[in-house]
Amino acid sequence: MKTISSKIVVNKWIDEYNDLHKGEEPDARNVAYAKLVNAYYELSTLFYEVGWGTSFHFSYRMAGESFSEGMRRHEYYLTSFLGGLKPGSKVLDVGCGIGGPLRSITRFTGWDITGITINEYQVNRCNQLAARQGLSGQCRAILGDFLAIPAANNSFDGVYAIEATCHAPDRRKVYSEVFRVLKPGGYFACYEWCLTNKYDKNNQYHRWIKKKIEEGDALPDMAYTHEIDDAMRSSGFDILHTRDMSLDPNQKFPWYHPLLPSWNPFVQRFQFNPVGLFLTTWGLRLLEFLWLAPKGTSKIQTMLQQGGIGCVKGGQNEIFTPMYLVVCRKPL
């Protein structure tokens, strides 16, 4: 697959990325989705890894759970729906990022897992971390577009995706590719970013929230939960189970808690209060001025912060969820 060169001019790339989000209509972003997503992760991956860790997804926390424990539970719960696969089973991670879940799930299950991502930097980083942890023989990342997965028909015993297929301009296309490479009788489980039925497209505030999420997270457009169900069925899958896990009971902290503003200067949430927003932006601009950071770095941080603000507002108003669970099976 041809990708954009990793030798980038940060300021130029972030300006081009922002240009794709100027209008509310998703047409331009749908056409240029590969460039949009690749540029986003080329620019933001290091920010994510430093500020969030190696697993680029959300999870709520239950009483007694740390942030990392909640993340692992969320990952293991998803893979529990893949049909009791034995160690050594061939599994695909669709949109693996730098492979935090991939490596954790490999250790937990003993599966042989291949991850696919459109970004070359993420492929290299994932494989570097797998080698460092002695997992190169069991898991790896490959470069590719999940609208054209570089694998033969019926290649995998199971497939999962964690908050990744939301980047696709057409869900039917990505689900159809998953269907193609999954063996008959195999299971596909995913967490999707979705609009809920409470989202009102005629509500200006709702549209503002949606726009912030799309801009801050490289989404061509967002779909309703029922549109995800329809796309799964039209791709050939039998749907076994769906639910919005953001509404699960017994939550101590909601999924968007790490993005809520805090006045504690020693936690990453400090950046979301008004003072933190100001200091972070101008601190990065100072580093740019001193040639200690590439020009445009502050624009990336601003973009990511605005996306976080949109996610919080979407969660608080229950018009958006990043954890719509869908479990499907490919018929025999």
Q: By the 8 A CB rule, do 57 and 246 touch?
A: no
Query: What crossing angle do the helices spanning 33-51 and 120-132 adopt, rounded to 10°?
Result: 40
Question: Is residue 296 pLDDT above 50, yes or no?
Answer: yes
pLDDT tens for each residue of 230-264? 999 999 999 999 999 999 999 999 999 999 999 99
Question: Is residue 208 pLDDT above 70, yes or no?
Answer: yes
* Residue 30 pLDDT: 65
Question: Is residue 21 pLDDT above 80, yes or no?
Answer: no
Contacts of 5 (CB under 8 A, 6+ apart): none
Least confident among 3-7, 47-51, 62-66, 121-125: 3-7
* Residue 20 pLDDT: 73
pTM above 0.85, yes or no: yes
Instruction: Give the pLDDT mean for 143-171.
Output: 96
How far apart CA 214 and CA 212 sit, in angstroms, is 6
Contacts of 290 (CB under 8 A, 6+ apart): none
Number of domains in the chain: 1
Instruction: Give the pLDDT mean for 282-310.
Output: 88
Instruction: Give the pLDDT mean for 204-226.
Output: 93
The first and second tokens of residue 258, run together, are 């790490």
Question: Is residue 68 pLDDT above 60, yes or no?
Answer: yes
Instruction: Give the pLDDT mean for 285-310.
Output: 87
Question: Is residue 8 pLDDT above 80, yes or no?
Answer: no
Question: Is residue 3 pLDDT above 60, yes or no?
Answer: no
4 falls in which pLDDT band (50, 70, 90)? very low
Least confident among 60-74, 159-173, 257-271, 290-304: 290-304
Mean of the per-residue pLDDT values for the chain?
91
Instruction: Give the pLDDT mean for 9-15.
Output: 78
219 or 70, greater pLDDT: 70
Range of the domain at 35: 1-332
316 falls in which pLDDT band (50, 70, 90)? very high
Instruction: Give the pLDDT mean for 309-313.
Output: 95
Question: Is residue 102 pLDDT above 90, yes or no?
Answer: yes
Question: Is residue 206 pLDDT above 60, yes or no?
Answer: yes
The first and second tokens of residue 122, run together, are 């993420």
2 or 233, greater pLDDT: 233
50 falls in which pLDDT band (50, 70, 90)? confident
Proportion of the chain above pLDDT 90, given as a percent: 70
For residue 161, which of 142, 189, 182, 184 has the smallest C-alpha distance? 189
- SS3 for the chain is CCCCCCCCCHHHHHHHHHHHCCCCCCHHHHHCHHHHHHHHHHHHHHHHHHHCCCCCCCCCECCCCCHHHHHHHHHHHHHCCCCCCCCCCEEEEECCCCCHHHHHHHHHHCCEEEEEECCHHHHHHHHHHHHHCCCCCCEEEEECCCCCCCCCCCCEEEEEEECCHHHCCCHHHHHHHHHHHEEEEEEEEEEEEEECCCCCCCCHHHHHHHHHHHHHHCCCCCEEHHHHHHHHHHCCCEEEEEEEHHHCCCCCECCCHHHCCCCCCCCHHHHHCHHHHHHHHHHHHHHHHCCCCCCCHHHHHHHHHHHHHHHHHHHHCCCEEEEEEEEEECCC
The domain that holds 129 is classified in CATH as 3.40.50.150
331 falls in which pLDDT band (50, 70, 90)? very high
Q: From residue 7, give the alpha-carbon distance in Å to each of 4, 116, 217.
A: 9, 21, 22
Residue 171 amino acid letter: R
Question: Is residue 153 pLDDT above 60, yes or no?
Answer: yes
Least confident among 70-74, 212-216, 227-231: 212-216
Q: Classify the phi-psi angles of 110: left when phi > 0, otherwise alpha if psi is within -120 to 50, otherwise beta.
A: left
- Taking the chain, what is the end-to-end CA distance rounded to the nearest angstrom? 31
* Residue 276 pLDDT: 87
